[in-house]
Amino acid sequence: MVLAIVLMGGLGLVVGIGLAIASKVFYVYVDPKILAVEAALPGANCGGCGLPGCSANAEAIATGKASPNSCVAAGPEVAVAIGAILGVSVEAKEPDIALPGCTYGVADADTKFVYDGLNDCRAVALLNGGMKVCTIGCLGLGTCAKVCPFGAISMGPKGLPVVHENRCTGCGTCERVCPKHIITLSSVTRRILKEYTTEDCTTPCQRGCPAGINISAYIGAIAQGDNNRAVQIIKERNPFPTVIGRICPRPCENECRRQYVDEPVAINFLKRYAADVEMELGQHVQPYRAPDTGRRVAVIGGGVEGLSAAFFSARLGHATTVFEAQDRMGGLLRSAIARYRLPMAVLDWDIEGILDMGVKAETGKLLGRDLTVANLLAEGYHAVFLAVGGWDSRLARTGAKGDVSPAPGCHLLIDIAKSGTEGYPAVRLDGHVVIVGSPNLNARLIQRCKDLGAQKMTLLVREAAVTQFDDTLIDIRVDAGIGRLYGRDDTLSGVEIVDLASAEAQILAADHVVFTSGRIPELIFTPAPPKVSEEGTREASAGEWQALPPYKQPAYHDETGLMAKGDVLTDFSAAIKAIAAGRRAAASTHRALYGLSMDLPDHVVAPFTTLQNVTRLERVPVRLRQIMPLAGSAQTVQDQELERGFDPAAAKAESERCLRCGLICYLREKEDVRLPAAVAG
């Protein structure tokens, strides 16, 4: 008995020693934060976060790869608790919902496919080497509905998925399994930040519109008699629908596939119709906006671009204020367009709609006289966007005999050339001056800069052909551009120079920047990021700021820096382009506030992008375009509008001409379709 006890004790001792050694050899450290985050999660293991269970999500949250509110099964209180564990604050998050992006499925397809018994969309898409051409849209087998953890998707009568928004948590499971990108996550923020890519099922007119309005969707809403929905869709990308419905040059209609049969759809006249109905009812219809972020944005300039930037910033959830030097907002829309083309009551209505979105406006506030960028940042604005316009704005500042520069240390070359003459304000160029733009500066202008106090000059150009100056004070940098500006209070202190060949950047101490263009470029000012001290703490210096440009339009998304190819030098050639620039500015400001990348995807759609397309139509009967009725000569003399607008009957008839196109599809007339026999997929 004693021997047995001794043997058992010895065996236990050996096993204990072995386990102790193994625990040291095979010890796996688990971050206490991960354990704490996992304990805070509900433990549903539903996979809605896109990861295999709560343990994986906890690790992703703790390492910064997922956000504290990434768990779709938990409420906001769990996100706040996780944020406290990580030492971060959690802002209100707008809900993501799944959005079917296709209106053309198996039920409408001319060619029917037999899937050899397969019942999963992913398998079918790979059949026979995969789909090379989207001959039909949604494959219609309902894989998205089968995998949805919350039963938020069902298949509708036309074989297309229907999302039940009250059940959808925005987990993205459906988006991940759809092989044809039919379903994507959508939210206000996602839609404003989005630039179209080659993966999106866009229409030719939508790609031709500088603002990227979902044209077929709003025309479809008009055809169904849902005018409010039409206005909402238009305002997703255009806060001036009533104005643009009158003055747009209509590049979208040049791309309309209807022209292959008869005439393009009257896209812009239909936009005007929907907006006019809204105005006649006297109640602004608004698109959705994101929850309040607690961040403040100032927009300098109440023209088309500035008001558009303010509108989209407000929709992104930021408290936004527009500062305008004139007593009324509107910019060139108010001063440069004939009243019979654009009555001021129409302009005022659209501006009122922008203010109704929550935008505040202060008029009679001139930058440099009544306020400065540094003062606005000191007052608690998290970002200041400069949209001061072109020559009209510069002349207004010059006429006020104040500082002609709206940005600290930034000047136009013409103001340097005319400094102190002909009533122009005197400019003092003390210290180091960086000149950006033309390589063909003559010696007289260089001498003029010296006369105004320049002690050193750096000339940044993108071309190799540069005028040579026999002057040790001039440093010429070829193939270089400006990435950012840095300053403190109301003075410039540094310029980030980017080598366009290597993408390497260096900060150059500078006191002034002179642009050889006709306008000061758009800039986004934010407080300078905190610096890391020798002790490892992050400290913010009071009054220091940085300024960066908005990201480029898709046609020039691979360009770098201020005054790059494609940047507007004088003014926008059309109001619709200024609206598009305003949305990009709001998106860029939002990205800057959250430290997000300004880079666009390589497959962003640009005018030169190669896309599959349709160059002829089949079985589409001729239906001529509705004619816009005009006012009589007597009415025009009395300052009435030249064009009277569509009535409901004309609008319905014209909206029904739309072919509801997709990337390479269009909807034929039902009565003319003769379906072929089924073919193997």
Residue matched to tokens 């480029």: 552
Overall average pLDDT of the 325-350 stretch:
93
Query: What pLDDT score does 673 carry?
Result: 42
pLDDT in tens, 239-249: 999 999 999 99
For the stretch 483-517, pLDDT in tens is 999 999 999 999 999 988 888 999 999 999 998 87
Neighbour-count burial of 534, counting CB atoms closer than 10 A to its CB (0-12 exposed, 13-18 middle, 19+ buried): exposed
Of 374, 414, 418, 368, the residue nearest 388 (C-alpha): 368
- pLDDT tops 50 at residue 675: no
Task: Estimate the share of the chain in helix, then strand, then coil, as percent rounded to the nearest 5.
Answer: 35, 15, 50
pLDDT of residue 365: 92
CA dihedral sign, ordered 169, 173, 178, 181: positive
Instruction: Over range 149-165, report the average pLDDT.
Output: 87
Whole-number pLDDT of residue 678:
42
Of 166, 196, 164, which is closest to residue 181 (Cα–Cα)? 196
Q: Does 90 have pLDDT greater than 50?
A: yes
pLDDT of residue 559: 86
Residue 147 has pLDDT above 70, yes or no: yes
- Tell me the percentage of the chain whose pLDDT exceeds 90: 43
Residue 23 has pLDDT above 80, yes or no: no
**Residue 53: pLDDT band with limits 50, 70, 90:** confident
**Domains located in the chain, CATH noted:** 29-90 (1.10.15.40)
Residue 327 has pLDDT above 50, yes or no: yes
Q: For residue 662, what pLDDT is reported?
A: 85
Average pLDDT over residues 385-399: 65
Q: How confident is the model at residue 579 (pLDDT cuts 50, 70, 90)?
A: very high
Residue 435: what residue type? I
Judged by average pLDDT, the poorest of 114-118, 336-340, 537-541 is: 537-541
Query: How far apart are alpha carbons 250 and 373 in whole angstroms?
Result: 37
Q: How far apart are CA 110 and CA 360, in angstroms?
A: 52
- State the DSSP string of 489-535: TTEEEEEEEEETTT--EEEEE-SEEEE-SSSPPPEEEEEPPPEE-TT
pLDDT of residue 77: 67
Radius of gyration of the chain (CA): 30
Instruction: Please give the residue that has the higher pLDDT: either 576 or 566.
Output: 576
User: Helix 267-281 crosses helix 215-223 at what angle (to 10 degrees)?
Assistant: 60
The predicted pLDDT at position 245 comes to 97
- Tell whether the model's pLDDT for residue 677 goes beyond 50: no
pLDDT at residue 59 is higher than 90: no
Class of residue 338 by CB neighbours under 10 A (exposed 0-12, middle 13-18, buried 19+): exposed
Q: What local confidence, expressed as pLDDT, does residue 54 receive?
A: 82
Q: How confident is the model at residue 475 (pLDDT cuts 50, 70, 90)?
A: confident
| Dist. CA 402–CA 420, nearest whole Å | 12
Q: What tokens were used for 175?
A: 């988006």
Give CA–CA dist 335/411, Å, rounded.
Answer: 25
